[in-house]
Structure formats: C-alpha cells, structure tokens
Structure 1
Amino acid sequence: MNFYTYKFHTLHTMIIVFKWKHFLETMFLRKLNLSDQEKMFFLSLSEKRKKEFLGIRSALRYIGIKMNIFYNEKRKPFLFPSEKHISLSHSFEKIAIAISSYHIGIDIEKLRKDKIVRIKKKFIRDDESIFIHPNYEEDYLHIIWGIKESLYKLEGGMFYSFLNHYKVSPFYLQNNSCVSCWIIKNSYSKRFYAFYRKIEEYYLVYIIDK
C-alpha cells in the first residue's frame, strides 16, 4: 500500500511527502523500537508532537529505513548507524522527510493566507518586501517563510531571528524554481540555494548544503 503523495531524488537526496491523516488512522500507534535517546526526547514532547514523532518514525520504517534518529549538539537529526543526514517537517495532513548525503533543511507549509499575512512583519525584511508582488503575496510569503525555516534547520537552530539572521534574494514566482538565500552571522555571511515546489495546497522548500 502506497501512502506517500510525492517522491523524488536530487543531488544524492531523497525527498518524500506523506499523507499525515493516514498516519493518524493506521501508523503512529504502531509499536516502534526506539533508542534510549529517542525515548527521552519523546517523553519531553507535547501530545501533538508525540503523534508527529511516532508518525515520522513509522514512515521511515515503512520505506525500509530501520536506523534510529539521533540529535547532535545543535539538535540536528541524523540517522545512525549511517552517514546520512535527515530533515523533517510537518503541516496539517502532510509530512516531508529528506534523507541526504549532505546537510539539508526542509520545510512544508499549508497555504494559510490570514495567518501568513498576519505574521509577515516577524520574518519579512524591508529589502525582501520590495520584490513581493501584491497579487501573489500569499505565495511569496509562504516560500520566504519556508526558505528561512529551512535555513534555520540547516544551521541547527543556532540563529533564531528570521529578520536578522536569514535573507532571501529577489526572485520571480515560478514553480520548481531556485532562489538565492543567506545565513547572516556576526563575522560573515554564507550563501545557499533554496528550491521550492507547490504540492496541492502546500509549499515544499529544501536547501542542500554541498
């Protein structure tokens, strides 16, 4: 039985988008052999996050990945025993999982116009607002949010300000497009390239650090 809605490979990376509702009905209550670290992390989560935690691990088992998820000192997840990096995201009925030979950050967000417009001042810089086309504001805001969320995960959550620590260069709205973006540190900045795709009413964004 196939319950993923989207799957592709790129740059030694596999990205899969799963149906979240299917997990709630059939998967997340399944018994899993969790490591001691995973059990401790699991017990610290809210009830909602516990369901998501088990759903993601059930998905990994379903696609044949029986390795455990561990977290490094930056709280970035990785698979053990393996040299593969992993990034996770969930939004409403979708879960996105990226497994890569490189460091990677991924985000999936359902389009919610009212919320994203309401919080835009928290993550849109002045130099980003000037290239957002007003007729497509909702799409631009979701893509920029997803890029900054992916950069945040790529960095391991060390830089928390979406206004001061992350920047997105001007781009035109085009599905399956590449966008230049930056992590801004105290001593220097580093450039990355983000890729985004629209899947149903969701935007999927990922950044691979080669």
Structure 2
Amino acid sequence: MKNTKFDEIHTKIIVIKWNKYLNTTNFKQLLLLNDKERKIFLSLSDKRKIEFIGTRFILRYMRIKINSLYNNNFFIYKGKKKYFSLSHSYERIAIAISSYHVGIDIEKYREKITKIKKKFVRKDENFFLKKKSEKDYLHIIWGIKESLYKLNGGTYYNFLNHYKVSPFCIKKDHSIQCWIIKKYCSKKFTAFYKKLENYYLVYSIDI
C-alpha cells in the first residue's frame, strides 16, 4: 500500500494525532493559509478550526493539490471526482478519501456510550450484543450509524429509524453490512472498523 499511487486505489484512510506539539498555530505555519482561508478559519468554532486545518494538513501530506473543498464533500483530483469525509475526536482526526460516497467516524472509547444506548441501538440489533464486550459493540454500531449519516449528507438524523446494522461478531467480522432506511426503500452499504489504541475508527462506503 505504501508504494501505491492514490489514483490507483479507490479509498484512502488517514488518521493523525492532535497534541500540544501539533496545534492550530503549528498547522497554520505549516500550511501558509492564504487570505481567504485565514478569514474562513477565524470565523470557525474551535472544533471546526481543528477539522479545517487537519483536513488541509492531510491533503497536503498526500500531495493532493486542490483549490477548494466543495460543500457536498467532493473535490476534483486529476480530472476525477473524489469524495471525502472527516471526523474528529479528542486527539485524533480521521479523513476518508474515496472514488465512492464515503462516511467516516472516529470515537474515543468511553463509558458514556452505555448511557445513550437506547437512543441508537434498535431492538433487532440489541440481541447480538455480547455482554462481556458490549461497549465495543456499541462504539462500532454508533460509528457505523454516524458514518452512514455523513455519507447520506446528514439528511436522516434518527439513528433508530433510519439506520440499521446487520448482526456481526467482533472477533470474526471486520466488514459489516448496514442499511440506510428510507420511507419507500432501503439501501445496503458496507462498513469497516478498526480499534486504534483507545479509539474506534469506522467508515462506511457505497461500492
């Protein structure tokens, strides 16, 4: 994968660590923001500032030269449309760039996930959760639904009614079938996950 050119593969996932040595000041100096970008940057919230700079840092790292990122999450690279999705959690920024519609989520592993379980886990998903590793299952399911939400452009916000995750086993399955449920039809997608230290990285793709 290291020697593969970006335009020869369909999806690229990059995660960077955000810490006191890699802050917005260092990013700004590294990227040399132009006047337009600096004006946009100053108008953003602290969270959005991190995402704004982090995105440009990663794209520069990948040697992708773009003039702007379009509002509907795509850009043109060597004459081809590429889709992107971004997620930020504590000290991690993750970005997915793909030839297909894609959504990504990264979440820090926390006990809090169990307190909101009823807000995003359906009855037909609850039955395959394993008690010993329930929090891991919850982080993956949440990540899948969050990534589907982003992939779909943030149109459907109800994680119980509009998104469904097929049964899976953490020890065996690294790709998971999932669904966006609409009023008159449903569409299947494929999600992938990986645990990175105390974070769960999940992305869904429309292949």
Written as runs of structure 1 = structure 2, the 5 A alignment for 1:24-173 is: 24=23, 27-30=26-29, 31-33=32-34, 40=40, 42=41, 45-67=44-66, 68-72=68-72, 77-80=73-76, 82-113=80-111, 115-173=112-170
Secondary structure of the equivalent of 2:114? helix
CA distance in 1 between partners of 2:61 and 2:141 (Å): 32
Does the Cα contact within 8 Å between 1:110 and 1:201 map onto a contact in 2? yes
Are the aligned partners of 1:176 and 1:197 in contact in 2 as well (CA < 8 Å)?
Answer: no
- Bigger Cα displacement from structure 2, 168-177 vs 21-30: 21-30
Deviation at 1:175, TM superposition (A): 6.8
Which structure 1 residue ranges, 5 or more long, are not aligned? 1-8
Match of 1:5 in 2: none
Alpha-carbon RMSD: 2.4
Q: How does 1:167-186 map to 2 (within 5 A)?
A: 167-174=164-171, 177-186=174-183
Alpha-carbon shift at residue 48 of structure 1 (Å): 2.8
1:34 positional shift: 7.2
String of CA shifts for 1:87-113, please: whole Å, max 9, x gaps.
111111111111111111111111012
Say whether the 8 Å CA contact 1:27–1:58 is kept in structure 2: no
| Higher strand proportion (structure 1 or 2) | 1
Partner of 2:195: 198
AA of the residue aligned to 1:78: F
TM-score, length basis structure 2: 0.84
Count, aligned residues: 195
Q: Note the C-alpha offset of 1:43.
A: 5.5
**Counterpart-to-counterpart distance in 2, 1:19 and 1:144:** 23
Task: Please give the alpha-carbon distance, in whole angstroms, between the structure 2 residues aligned to 1:19 and 1:34.
Answer: 27
- Unaligned segments of structure 2, at least 5 residues: 1-5
- Work out whether residues 84 and 100 of structure 1, in 8 Å CA contact, stay in contact via their aligned partners in 2: yes
Structure 2 distance, partners of 1:88, 1:18, is 12
Which stretch shifts more, 57-66 or 179-188?
A: 57-66
SS state at 1:66 partner? coil
Secondary structure at the aligned position of 2:70 is classed as strand
**What SS does structure 2 have at the residue aligned with 1:83?**
strand
Q: Which amino acid aligns with 1:182?
A: W
Q: Is the CA contact (8 Å cut-off) linking 1:164 and 1:184 kept in structure 2? A: yes
**87-96 vs 17-26, greater mean Cα deviation:** 17-26
The alpha-carbon distance between structure 1 residues 209 and 199, as it changes in their structure 2 partners (threshold 3 A), is: same
Q: 1:59 and 1:27 mapped to 2: Cα distance?
A: 14
Letter in 2 for 1:71: N
Measured in 1, the distance between the counterparts of 2:16 and 2:109 equals 17
Q: Is the 8 A contact 1:15 1:96 kept in 2?
A: yes
